[in-house]
Amino acid sequence: AQPTPPRSNLPDPGPGDALDTSPDAAAARLTQVAESLLGDASRVALADVLGSDWPSARRVLADLTTLDLRPELPYRLTWADGLTIAPEREPAWLSHGYLERAR
């Protein structure tokens, strides 16, 4: 086991000071993510908006899952029953889902 590195005694404002903590900031950011993916469409396949960069795709999926769990926002994720396996891709599986405007 490696010891934990020493921590500085100096105050560290870090990126948290730049974070907007207003009540509507998270909803506004999630709305911006959804609108950038949807564009003028009312529905978009996740396979079309998730790139081959898996770390970025994970962040987008996390945002879209959070967005889907916010009933006050007019967006929903829907999932199909199919699953595509492609060992040469990252990720090697694709569950077919869609981001939709709910209203």
Domain, as residue range, for 50? 23-101
Q: What is the pLDDT of residue 62?
A: 92
Does residue 48 lie in a domain region? yes
Q: Give average pLDDT by consecutive 10-residue segment, the chain, 103 residues.
A: 75 67 86 94 90 82 93 93 82 84 84
User: How far is it, in rounded angstroms, from Cα 26 to Cα 66?
Assistant: 10
The answer as to whether 8 is a domain residue is no
Task: Tell me, yes or no, if the pTM score tops 0.75.
Answer: no
The pLDDT assigned to 53 comes to: 78
Residue 14 has a pLDDT of 66
Structural domains counted in the chain = 1
Q: Which ranges in the chain belong to alpha helices (H)?
A: 25-38, 46-49, 54-68
- The number of CA neighbours under 13 Å toward the Cβ of 14 is 5
Give the model's pLDDT for residue 12.
66
Query: Tell me, what's the pLDDT at 35?
Result: 95
Query: What CATH number does residue 90 fall under?
Result: 1.10.10
In the chain, the N- to C-terminal Cα span, in Å, equals: 53
